[in-house]
Amino acid sequence: MGTALITGGTSGIGMTFAETLAQRGHDMCLVARDETRLQQVADRLRQERVEVEILVADLADRADLARVEDRLRDRDRPVEILVNNAGFGVPQKFSTGDIDAEQQMLDVLVTAVMRLTHAAVPGMVARGTGAVINVSSVASWITGGTYSAAKSWVTVFSESLSLELAGTGVNVVAVCPGFTHTEFHQRAGMQMEALPDWMWLDAQDVVDTALKDARRGRPISVAGPQYKVLSLAAQYLPRPLVRAIGSRRPGGQVRAK
């Protein structure tokens, strides 16, 4: 089994990807800002008898991002699976909010995804195998503020690159989860108690569906029958109705993985 590099791999969906791929025999390269949590997760994954490397990096920092890019370009230590999972949103209105926070979000959700993918893909194509898994969101199809706008970029980018790389042996998939039981909403300070149980997904289901869809070469992965229906509706409903739905979404604009 090859190596998987996972950004934001110390919690939530990213950690579930790490646990699942380690159980399947993949060595790991975990990227996150918190060295203590990285070490804790790495120690646990090593119990699966895989090698685990950690990279402490803030993907909004260009110097840190460049170090991760260099790791992906290392032909002597090839990365077979890239999981672009790290991300956060900003709990504010764009018109009155902190523009530096908005820029930081775009740096992580858009720029880092673009640059890390660009660093990884040439080696994968040369080897004739590989996968890029970009964690997007069902929010990419609604008007959910700048978070939705950034995730929309991730979804369309992944679809486009999937077409570009068809026949190379490299698969690209945008993973579009709905509300998922992770630390995401708690760390964001979002009150989600009113959300009905049927709208919640399990992170393991999201990851299992994503890995299955990546193997099958599907450019979009949506877990859960409820979100398969909702995502199709969001894509094909008249835009005025989509905007109305977006204005009533629970939790408002979100923050942090």
What is each CA distance from 244 to 94, 114, 223, in whole angstroms? 18, 31, 24
For the question of residue 227 being annotated catalytic, the response is no
Percentage of residues of the chain with pLDDT beyond 70:
86
Q: Which of 147, 157, 179, 184 is catalytic?
A: 147
CA–CA distances in Å: residue 94 to residues 74, 130, 145, 146, 192 = 39, 37, 8, 7, 22
Please state, in angstroms and rounded to a whole number, the distance separating the CA atoms of residues 101 and 95. 13
In order of their start, the domains of the chain are 3-247 (3.40.50.720)
pTM reported for the whole predicted model:
0.88
Take residue 188 and report the two structure tokens written for it: 């964001």
pLDDT digits over 179-233, tens only? Answer: 875 554 444 444 445 565 756 689 999 999 999 999 999 999 998 778 888 878 7
